[in-house]
Structure 1
Amino acid sequence: MTITTGLRLETLTPKNIEAALGIRIRPDQEHAVEPVAHSLAEAYVWPGVAWPRLIVDDGRPVGFLMAFLDIDWLGDGSLVRSGLWRLNIAADEQGRGYGRFAVDSVAAELRARGTKELYVTWHPGPTGPENFYLRLGFEPNGETSGNQTVGVLKLS
């Protein structure tokens, strides 16, 4: 199956919240990304920073993403960054280009806001998403956030 022309991001609403909450990743990936409900709780307490979206293909929910916009990265006001906070592609929808669409969509949103770099973090290891992000052009920048690798994609 390939991505169709009906692929889009939707803002979360009362009409699609259950679809978003129903997105389930593969069990072997659960250590690497929080469930959608956790992301939505974070979006609630980070208004204006969190940018949650449902990924829909021809009316069918296939994933969820949440970007972070202009977050105080170090907590002291000295470094502001934007990027991809969460990416959950439904287990039976993986490998069809939806993850790439999600990253491209966040990149387009950040470019429109004048942002020059897109940041992401990932759990290292064989069952983590590192290879996915590296294939999309992210480069580790030598930092870690907790136990996660920090990667950056230049948007210019």
Structure 2
Amino acid sequence: MSSALGLAVITPENIDAALALRVRPDQEHLVAPVATSLAEAYAYGEAAWPRLILDGDRPVGFVMAFFDLTFYPDRPGDLPRSGLWRLLIDAERQRGGYGRFAVERVCAEIRRRGGGSATVTYHPGPDGPAGFYAGLGFRPTGETSGGQTVAALELPPLS
């Protein structure tokens, strides 16, 4: 991992690189492909925040956040939340700190927008990312969403 990490808006110039990102075959059941994420981002408009993760000029992953959105209109008691919607690090680039970087940037954007916590959902089980998110401070809330574990992280206020 270089010191030139960044997030980039998806554009006509980098969309093919974003669509080419793939997790390992044994992880495909854990995260939707970038194409699905971009379709969801289109459908949800301003609530979605898709970004390409770059190491210098090299695409290494994809992250998508959501801001103050209740995803399930059939559950009117849901509180608006902000958090991590999708995280995909290319199979060749995993374990390089890119996921941590992306989650930290999402949390910083949530704080910038006035949010005090971040949520994430993930597939439970031994092959899922529970340990990764726990290592970043996310704690299960006891809720599930679509069969996935919901976890939250309280964010420190901006100083």
Provide the C-alpha distance between the structure 2 equivalents of 1:68 and 1:77, rounded to a whole number of angstroms.
Answer: 18
SS at 1:66's partner residue? strand
Size of the alignment, in residue pairs?
Answer: 154
Structural mapping, 1:89-100, within 5 Å: 89-100=89-100
User: What residue identity is the alignment partner of 1:31?
Assistant: H
The question of 1:40 aligning with 2:23 is answered no
Provide the C-alpha distance between the structure 1 equivalents of 2:60 and 2:119, rounded to a whole number of angstroms.
Answer: 23
CA distance change for structure 1 residues 77 and 45 in 2, over 3 Å: closer, same or farther? farther
The Cα shift of 1:126 comes to 1.1
Residue 84 of structure 2 is matched in structure 1 by 84
The question of 1:145 aligning with 2:145 is answered yes
Provide the C-alpha distance between the structure 2 equivalents of 1:5 and 1:78, rounded to a whole number of angstroms.
Answer: 39
User: What residue identity is the alignment partner of 1:95?
Assistant: R
Are the aligned partners of 1:123 and 1:147 in contact in 2 as well (CA < 8 Å)? yes
Residue 4 of structure 1 is matched in structure 2 by 2
For 1:45-78, what per-residue CA distance to the aligned partner results, in whole angstroms no more than 9, with x for missing partners? 0001110000000100000000011112442375
RMSD: 1.1
Structure 2 length-normalised TM = 0.94
Provide the C-alpha distance between the structure 2 equivalents of 1:78 and 1:108, rounded to a whole number of angstroms.
Answer: 23
Name the % identity: 59
Residue 119 of structure 1 is matched in structure 2 by 119
Uncovered stretches (5+) of structure 1, i.e. residues with no partner = none
The Cα shift of 1:127 comes to 1.0
Provide the C-alpha distance between the structure 1 equivalents of 2:149 and 2:103, rounded to a whole number of angstroms.
Answer: 17
Residue 61 of structure 2 is matched in structure 1 by 63
CA distance change for structure 1 residues 133 and 48 in 2, over 3 Å: closer, same or farther? same
The Cα shift of 1:118 comes to 0.3
Residue 26 of structure 1 is matched in structure 2 by 24
The Cα shift of 1:4 comes to 1.2
Residue 109 of structure 1 is matched in structure 2 by 109
User: What residue identity is the alignment partner of 1:117?
Assistant: S
Structure 1 length-normalised TM = 0.96
